[in-house]
Amino acid sequence: MPARACPSCRAPLQPLLADRVLLDRCFACKAMWFDAGELGLVAGTQGTPEMTREQPAAKCPACAGMLWFARLGACELLACIECGGNSVSDAQFARATQEGAARKALPRLEFVCVGCKDRYPLTQCQRVVPGLACARCAERFPPAPAPCHRERPVEGAAKPTRTASDDEWRDWWRFVEDLFDAI
């Protein structure tokens, strides 16, 4: 099965495990894709997203339907009416987890190594060309290029080429792990 593309920046989504729930994460724009019902399982939020705007925002990576601006509690997200999937930014996900934290303990994020297929804490991941790998298996694969921040092009303007260093995304993942540990 080909990797899903992020609805915000079109970069490939990487699979992650949160307890026993398989999520998709975009390393370029730091968005997460939740299939139907997964956001409630991971963040502890309940209910159905309410549409907030009348025009679609992007294409759904799961069913190729349209994503619409929506709200679920304090969390603003993109929701697919057809398959029930949701795209959530990291800041909005933090809001959703804070809202649902009183109801349940949150799981630790894990990934499945592309080499040995074992599960590891997300803080131990290394980005390689086929996906995420443990330290042992990362030596067998070429390192993945650093994700670039994609901005909407302005006609006549030079295209910016900012890239995030490995330290920045590792610091971000440590922040996510600390958030889950604190809750």
pLDDT tens string for the chain (183 positions)?
567 898 888 888 888 887 778 888 888 888 889 888 887 777 776 667 777 877 788 889 989 889 988 887 778 888 888 898 888 888 887 777 666 554 444 456 778 888 898 888 877 888 888 888 898 999 998 888 765 545 455 455 454 444 445 566 666 666 666 665 655
How many other β-carbons are positioned within 10 Å of the β-carbon of residue 47?
8
The residues, any chain, with a CB within 8 Å of residue 122's CB and separated by 6 or more, are 16, 108, 109, 110, 111, 173, 176, 177
CA pseudo-torsion sign 17, 181, 39, 148: negative
Domain boundaries, the chain: 14-107
